[in-house]
Every structure is written in structure tokens, then in C-alpha cells.
Amino acid sequence: MSLTVEVAGYGLCETAQPYALFVVCVQQESFQAWNVYRKYSSFVELSRQVKLLYPQTMDVPILDGESLNREVLDNCRQHLDKWLRGVIGNLMILRTQSMYQFLCADANVPHPNLEIHWRDSENGSFDEMVRASKMNYTFIHSQINSYHLYIYFHVFQ
């Protein structure tokens, strides 16, 4: 079983109260890739839930959640990417309901006012996935979640 996860970008939701989302790209073996969009607080909540089961798990990096500066957000993205890759290295954590929800819930459903800034890519590990995900937004939400639920429970369990 092979799962590749990358915090590949961040976005700014231009609403009355602007906020940042981080784009998590997920690819499982030869299955179609998907993206999920998470606030920093979702990473913190995932860390809290995982630590209840596995106290030795490293903490999510403490980041300045107030700044919407591109440089600060890209730095946050890099730290969250490193943290998430470290956490999913533990198969027991990867199989938790909390991780499933984090990696699969609301897949390929970006906020309508989201302006995404992708990481700079030289090796292109997720370049094809990013292009594919932009085309996949037209899928019906329930079909996507059913598909990911099937993959998760048949491969991870």
C-alpha cells in the first residue's frame, strides 16, 4: 500500500472575514488523486485527536495564524507538510477515523471564493494531480466521498 500526501498549496478565502486554507493533495497507489482544503485549526484538531491515542506523536507546529501574508502562509505550508508526512508514516495513525476524516471529508470541494497559491515545483510530484484535480471539480460530491470511503476501508483496513 502506498499513500502520498502533500500540503501542496494554500489559499485565501476572500470573505467578509478572510481566512487561509491549506491544500492537501492525496494520492493512493494507482487510484485517482484528490485534494482537501483545511484550515490550520483542522491540523491542530487532528493533532489533538491523534495524541489522545498515540501520546508520543509529535505536535503540530505552532504557527502565526493571524497573518495572511503569502510568505508567512508558504512557510506555514512547509511546516505543516513536514508534520503531516511524519504523522502518516505511522500506519496505526493513518488508519484512524480522525485521519480518514482529515484526508477524505469534503474531497475536491474548494470554497467558492478560494484563491489558491501552489507551491513552487521543480520535481513536479503532484503537478499532474493538481491539473487533474482542477478538472475533477465537476464530479458529484457524494460520488467522490463514496469512492474515497471505498478506497479507505478496502485498502487501509
- Under a CB-based contact definition with an 8 Å cutoff, are residues 10 and 77 in contact? yes
Q: Which pLDDT score, from 0 to 100, does residue 121 have?
A: 55
Mean pLDDT of the chain: 78
Task: Read off the DSSP letter of residue 28.
Answer: E
Query: What is the pLDDT, as a whole number, of residue 34?
Result: 94
Q: Are 105 and 22 in contact (CB under 8 A)?
A: no
Residue 44: enclosing H or E segment and its boundaries? helix 40-53
Contacts of 15 (CB under 8 A, 6+ apart): 113
The class level of CATH for 3-156 reads: alpha beta
Q: How far apart are CA 153 and CA 144, in angstroms?
A: 14
Instruction: Give the model confidence (pLDDT) of 62-119 as tens digits.
Output: 876 567 888 889 999 999 999 999 999 999 999 999 999 999 999 998 888 788 888 7
pLDDT at residue 24 tops 90: yes
In the chain, domain spans: 3-156
Is the pLDDT at 138 greater than 80? The verdict is no
How far CA 141 is from CA of 8, 75, 104, 134, in Å, comes to 22, 31, 12, 14
What is the rounded distance in angstroms from the CA atom of residue 39 to the CA atom of residue 1? 28
